[in-house]
Structure 1
């Protein structure tokens, strides 16, 4: 498809258009509208059938390449030791240590009665191995079965200093404690864990009612995941209808026609249904990325309908008969709509260059949605207007004269050069600032700060060592991990983990040393492999949070666990690298390898990698889009003219991140990709109208003025619709989506401003398609 001048009839002309593919399509649509409507409805019914089993999925591990080395290590670790993210955590705070411990005891006892709970850990329920006059005793330090020796402070210090990770169970002042209920491995599925957590919350509410002086907050990875899943369900239930309402109001205010409101929304709504059918056909679920696609598709794809309606109104005003006006509008806008969809699809498909399967799915599903929206807009909308009638108005004509005067002044040679120079300076300055924009991910920021799970996570970070569990696996030959030299290296590695900022370290070496002292009275690690094997039997009697499975049956792998505060994915990845380096230093000579894993570690790596790949892929997609514009318009000058108004909005947003030292999260990065594809659309409509006006204009400046004046009404309408539609995201349950709503709106507003200022100026300077030594159309 090459673009030249597909619509050169005069304003008052009502002559018949030359027959071409667009004219034949328009004739078919307006002559057989019932067939078109029936075909679209049948396709949507088939899509609904395919989408019947689609559900939501908030598992963060989906954001990691499933065939990556990190995922392979994680899966192997889970196969041996079980998942680290199936333990439900409840943080109890109160005015006195006695009140907190009393609530811990009752809550732990009641949770043990829940069928899904495998075991419970708390200051009351976790036993320690102690040496006594009668031998070795295994009992908790608090509760009815505890030893009677020592004050609360002494016993609290004994628990926190134990090798069972007691720092995770009770705070230093005793006013915050943890009750941890381990669920089956299958409860890595958030739907299963969600149902279990709801039942556990019922027990929590009962205990809270009996202990009104204490507060009990859920927290940790499972609770965060389930809360985010429920937030996703709320977003879809609330934001999708709200986005429809906002768009309906805006369409009515602009066109004042019932058909001009219902038909575009129906077209896009049907596109969402067809997109859901693609999700079902691929056998996938909606994750936190793809669950935004219906809302964004609803907002974005209505833009083509607005341009078509605006051109239809313009042809009617020029004196055309209704069906001829529909055919002419479809013929003149259709090419631009195809090109805008192609650029948006290209922006999404650029994500196929990443290593993440979840991004590939997001790209394919969203691109398919845009293609469906194009097809339905170019078929259902004309057919509906022909079948049901309706005449849109265009209030934007009221300020066309003021806009025309502004653009005439802008395209004067001196003003145009000054405007382009200003744009280039802004690009240069933005490049410098945008290079300072950081990329990071905080699991604790997924939920709103006032959410009860967020409160629990903050308490975990501040008082109990952190909300993020990590797993360290050391692997060697069978039996090798119980050798005295290996245990000495493991003990040194445990100290390194503490030095890196982790708490509640639970490791084989530390526990065997504590067990040896309790059973023999001698400090130090086991001196033989046989002694270590004997002591390991005692170790399995302890039950810290997450269960105690420190080695596999053939003693070829050993597990170390710890917790960390949520200081960001970059912090976690840096510590991961340093711990693995320490493991190589301390254990590499014994042919033992060290891997830091766990869902939090792997997810942090995936999120940060994803965001970085998105930004790089976005810049690449912009360059490809510009090249495609040059090819399809057969003009490198047109491609250059599109560069400034489309690159500058993105660079200005990234520059804001760099100037304010904010971190760019994954989901705003995804929205940047989406918004840039949107921003390009309006530029393409302007460029297309310029090429259509050029043959009949006295000068190329006149063509720019006419194109901008006639096109900017629809561009402004679509931009306002997009800004308001994305503004709906500020009501989301996810802070990242709220940020995305503001960010997307700002990007579209900047794109509109750049289209109004820099696109006409660039066309005036570069003069694409102007004969006489330049370019021919």
Structure 2
């Protein structure tokens, strides 16, 4: 099957495909869009999309804080006004909101006039006292201590990644040219740009470090130039095919793609070690080179294909989740595993025929050491059956109890460590200006009201605002009530004390000025007809766990304190959707694992035609996942959306050892050996390969702990540990579980 002719044909075909990609290369695109983490099958997303059509996106803004000096000095304010005006002139900026450009109406006997909220040419000392004691502006456009001035830049709605990068570069140029001592920024266009830059750096880093690791491992294992260069070339081509394929189909490289080079290289390397180790053993036994190559690939191709298939389908099972980022990571990584298998079987045999040596040096001492060690291990395992089973049960039960105590919690900037500069800048706005994370509530009239501007409805909105302010500790709240309060203030000559809900008698006078207030509002707060509106504010990024608690508290408040016949309220917005995504982690994880378990059961059933054996094979691969839960609990790691993939990926890779073990057992049984003798031979011969591949895989994944991205770091740490746990389960527990199945096998074969 893998003779010279066919092997050279496969090599030529691989070279041809690679040449075509080089001649017609895909465009390399890096992207980070946190909306790709929204659950697509959730009714909340459909509702938000309708809400966004009416009111616009809730996160298309950039927060800019200017300070580091006395901000009520004329020179500072003139420089800040210059910045504000330059920002307004940018093509992709729709508007800015700050004390520098806001005007408030004053309604008098002679009509409506406007006055500046902050008059740079006026008495700054008296204006400072007025502003910092204003419920309308303090901790909104100026912090409580009057150390920073806030400019909110409303950029183009649903701005693309490319336009966002361009706009933030233009804004950064303006800010860098100013003389203001301290400037802080936070917002979507900054976060996406910073994430993509980090992605590019990390992608290049892990691509290079993966190959360095591979070179070291290959040299340690084979100690020859061909044993390093041939695998390195094959792995490079496999990764190249995978990346090119995804880019051709328009899939940009994102935060999840950072892990792909390491994942694919260690999986491909494990497959090559199986093939090359078998090939070298045959040479040492005196087999002809050509026959050794042919036999090695012919005998092991099915087992390696099955491990590649189970790993691939394990990744692809993530496609059944409802989150686009996880779905496409699973799909393209799963396809990448198959591409890597194709690269191995199409390139490796031909290169071995061309460059591999005719013979290899013997190291009988090392081989005997391995044989002696594995033989002793098998004897000790069978002799200590009760102790081993007891230890596995105790640890598994403890881990299961830890599983029930794990907490789900995620943040907007979830993939970055909390001490990262980008995270700290966002936290600055949480501390000084009430938050950087948007909070949106949809408002609609109840069945007993006709308008959100009815005074009884406004009283309900006021109760809601007070609840949000107290419990969410939010920034200033924008709502239809704020419009009415502003008009009431204007009708009282701009008196700050009049920024409140007017009396019933005054409401009729207020109504005639509402259309103008709606038009002049920096964001759309109420629709024509006044039947639908929004309550919009910002909060700190407190995590999905705290957000869930507040959501439950809000629901309780709405059911008991808000008259639904007058006002209907619903939490919505991008932040709410991200919280839902994190809360769905258990469901997402079970979807992927359920399919992965089924796949392994089918493969084991295919090999042995027995459902009992299929179930036995599952057990030593479920145990590492349970133990991983124990490690997560011990280390205080919180579950979140991105950690949902770790369980599915770990299971898909760890099960490879069991498949290799069971495939070898099947081969031994096919030689008419008894069940126990075949089991012993399988343990002795496959044990070494399983240990080597586990070392390779665990070493490869441990490299990911060097990442700044949380999902990458925890994937490396936990998958490495899961692989070690799987090795222990396969070498200690699986043989003990297979011994009692002797009767089942003999009954099926007699």
- Kindly provide the CA deviation profile for residues 158-180 of structure 1, in whole angstroms up to 9, marking residues without a partner as x: 1xx11xx6523222112244222
Q: Which moved more, 1:361-370 or 1:289-298?
A: 289-298
CA contact (8 A) 1:436 1:661 kept: no
Which of 96, 114, 134 matches 1:120? 96
Structure 1: distance between partners of 2:162 and 2:456: 45
1:356–1:610 Cα contact (<8 Å) kept:
no
Separation in structure 1 between the aligned mates of residue 643 and residue 585 of structure 2, nearest angstrom: 12
Secondary structure of the 1:500 match is helix
Hey, what's the Cα distance between the residues in 2 that align with 1:648 and 1:622? 13
Q: Deviations over 1:580-601 (max 9, x none)?
A: 6655767764475433222222
Q: 1:383 aligns with which of 330, 337, 350?
A: 350
How far the C-alpha of 1:293 sits from its partner, in A, is 2.8
Query: 1:401-412 residue pairs with structure 2 within 5 A?
Result: 401-412=371-382
**Structure 1 residue 534 corresponds to structure 2 residue 501:** no
TM-score (norm 2): 0.89
- The CA deviation at 1:238 is 1.9
Q: Superposed, which structure 2 residues align to 1:620-639 within 5 Å? A: 621-622=596-597, 624-636=599-611, 638-639=613-614
Partner of residue 62, structure 1: 36
Which residue in 2 is equivalent to 1:675? 650
Matched, 1:506 2:478: yes
State the shift of 1:54 in Å.
5.4
* Cα deviation code 1:375-423 (max 9, x no counterpart): 22222211221233246779863630442243233243x4134312322
CA contact (8 A) 1:87 1:180 kept: yes
Counterpart CA distance in 1 for 2:95 and 2:304 is: 60
Aligned to 2:280: 313
Q: CA deviation at 1:243?
A: 0.8
Alpha-carbon distance, 1:340 to partner = 0.8
Select 2:235's aligned residue among 237, 258, 268.
268
Please report how far the alpha carbon of residue 479 of structure 1 lies from its aligned counterpart in structure 2 after TM superposition.
Answer: 7.1
Q: Which moved more, 1:715-724 or 1:607-616?
A: 607-616
What SS does structure 1 have at the residue aligned with 2:535? strand
User: Where do 1:706-717 residues align within 5 Å?
Assistant: 706-717=681-692
Deviating more after overlay: 575-584 vs 323-332: 575-584
Corresponding residue number in structure 1 for 2:423: 454
**Map of 1:356-395 to 2, 5 A cutoff?**
356-390=323-357
Residue 729 (structure 1) aligned to one of 698, 704, 709: 704
Contact 2:242 2:332 in 1 (8 A): yes
| TM-score between both structures, scaled by the size of structure 1 | 0.86
Q: Which residue of 2 aligns with 1:325?
A: 292
Distance in 2 of aligned mates of 1:452 and 1:662: 22
Q: What is the rounded CA distance, in whole Å, between the counterparts of 2:418 and 2:338 in structure 1?
A: 38
Cα distance change of structure 1 residues 329 and 226 upon mapping to structure 2, 3 Å threshold: same
Alignment of 1:340-739 (within 5 A): 340-390=307-357, 397=367, 399-412=369-382, 414-476=383-445, 480-503=451-474, 504-520=476-492, 524-525=501-502, 527=504, 528=507, 531-538=510-517, 540-541=519-520, 547-576=522-551, 578-579=553-554, 582=557, 589-590=564-565, 593-610=568-585, 612-615=587-590, 617-618=592-593, 621-622=596-597, 624-636=599-611, 638-694=613-669, 700-739=675-714
For 1:673 and 1:651, how far apart are their aligned partners in 2? 12
Q: Structure 1 residue 509: deviation in Å?
A: 0.6
State the Cα distance separating 1:128 from its structure 2 match.
Answer: 4.2
User: Contact between 1:140 and 1:147, CA under 8 Å: does it hold in 2?
Assistant: no
1:168 counterpart residue number: 140
Instruction: State the number of aligned residues.
Output: 735
Aligned with 1:302 (options 264, 269, 274): 269
Cα deviation, 1:128-170, whole Å, max 9, x if unaligned, reads 4567999866445445166657262442121xx11xx652322
- The higher relative CO (CA closer than 8 Å, separation ≥ 6) is in 1
Distance in 2 (CA, whole Å) between partners of 1:721 and 1:444 is 32
CA contact (8 A) 2:318 2:648 kept: no
The correspondence for 1:88, drawn from 62, 71, 79, is: 62
- Name the counterpart of 1:9: none
Counterpart Cα distance in 2 of 1:736 and 1:568: 16
Q: Deviations over 1:541-571 (max 9, x none)?
A: 35xxxx3221233433212211111111233
Separation in 2 of the partners of 1:262 and 1:63? Answer: 39
Q: Which residue is 2:730 aligned to?
A: 755
8 Å CA contact 2:278–2:296 kept in 1: the answer is yes
Aligned partners of 1:727 and 1:745 also within 8 Å: yes
Who is 1:16 aligned against? none
- Structure 2 CA distance, aligned partners of 1:282 and 1:573? 37
CA distance in 2, matches of 1:60, 1:768: 55
Q: Which moves more between the two structures, 175-184 or 580-589? A: 580-589
Structure 1 unaligned regions, length at least 5: 1-24
Shift of 1:124: 3.2
User: Following TM superposition, by how much is the alpha carbon of 1:31 offset from its aligned partner in structure 2, in angstroms?
Assistant: 2.2
| SS in structure 1 at match of 2:100 | coil
Q: Give the Cα separation in 1 of the matches to 2:550 and 2:380.
A: 55
Mean Cα deviation higher: 660-669 or 578-587: 578-587
Residue 580 and residue 532 in structure 1: after superposition, are their counterparts in 2 closer, same or farther (change >3 A)? farther
* Structure 2: runs of 5+ lacking an equivalent: none
- Deviation string 1:741-774 (CA, Å, 9 cap, x unpaired) is 2222222222223333223333345448763x6x
Change beyond 3 A, Cα 1:611–1:133 = farther
Instruction: Report the secondary structure of 1:119's partner residue.
Output: strand
User: For 2:602 and 2:435, how far apart are their aligned partners in 1?
Assistant: 49
**1:152 equivalenced with 2:122 (yes/no):** no
